[in-house]
Amino acid sequence: MTLPSRNIGPFEVSAVSLGCMNLSHAYGGYPTEEEAVRLLNRALDLGVTMLDTAALYGDGENEKLVGRAVMHRRSEFTLASKCVLGMFDGKRGLDGRPEAIAATLEGALQRLGTDHIDLYYLHRLDANVPIEESVGALVRAKDAGKIGAIGISEMSAATLRRAHAVHPIAAIQNEYSPAVRNVEMGVLAACRELGTAMVAFSPVVRGLLAGAVRSADYGPGDIRRAMPRFVEPQLSENLKLVDAFDRIAAEAGLTPAQLAIGWVIAQDPTVIALPGTKNIAHLEEDVATLTKPIPQDAIEVVTALFPYNAMKGPRYAALMQSQVDTETLPDEELA
């Protein structure tokens, strides 16, 4: 199946691609190996042409999973992974030094079972290392044939421009959804200016706009337990917005997830939506967004429903907030 596509540097990828994180990181209740392999292959069968992983996810286990599951179909997809953000001595941390990046990349190539990663991101900005030095490490990796294009993640327009001055940045991967619109503070405009793709992770707001969150009874290992807008008393207030959003989706003949993903894709031709899921039915629902008309009036109503700072509570807990470089919205609550 051929899906509508958008460009990332030299690559043409499906406008809805797949984030693989959920299969071994962040939300607990992970699928079995057999289930995960089946889901990844189903994504390719559906026409998804970019799979996105990272060294952080499962402390390397997610890259290993992708390597075992789909490397026999390597020609069918663009492979993306990330460095800098990882687990160090059992704790989440940052290391953007060139030597650390080179070591992480070597490990990623081994874990993935390949000698080349198409798109390699700096997962976060290490404030202790100039962005130019970190990007320089990726330029050397590209010159050595180990990666094909360079990306950055959860960074600001100013940092994007600094990085781009060293080497063209093919993609910036930031959170973007109807409810999380920080990229509209400058990143989207910079993407248009520089020819950088905007890869939108969490387009369904970690399940909030996909009917997956109705209470704060998350399982063990679920990062939403520590995210202020996903716990009480903020969650109850946010669910009022979700209820209104769900009604708009129903009136448009869409599922909530499809409306959220469709809204994201409609914002700019530079945007690629990157939902993640552990469930094949949800994967099929997400990809089907590309076959459904998204009414313009529904997009406009959703935009009005979520003005900046409509969501109650900070986007991240304190540690995670300290590791992002994205712009903040006017009067945004920060942990």
Q: Which residues are catalytic?
A: 57
Task: Return d(Cα 40, Cα 26) in angstroms, integer.
Answer: 18
Size (the chain), residues = 335
- For residue 209, give the amino acid letter: L
The helix/strand/coil state of 118 is: strand
Query: Secondary structure of the chain: what % helix, strand, coil (to 5)?
Result: 45, 15, 35
- Taking alpha carbons only, the member of 139, 137, 180, 129 closest to residue 159 is 129
Q: Are 302 and 266 in contact (CB under 8 A)?
A: no
Q: What is the DSSP letter of 60?
A: G
Question: If you write DSSP's letter for every residue of 151-219 in order, what string do you get?
Answer: EEES--HHHHHHHHHHS---EEEEE-BTTB-GGGGTHHHHHHHHT-EEEEE-TTTTTGGGT--SSS-PP
The helix/strand/coil state of 81 is: strand
Residue with tokens 């607990």: 28
Tell me the CA distances in angstroms from 303 to 122, 234, 236, 260, 274, one per residue in order. Answer: 30, 21, 21, 11, 20
Task: Return d(Cα 88, Cα 330) in angstroms, integer.
Answer: 34
Tell me the CA distances in angstroms from 18 to 61, 90, 302, 324, one per residue in order. Answer: 17, 27, 24, 22
Token reading at 267: 């914002």
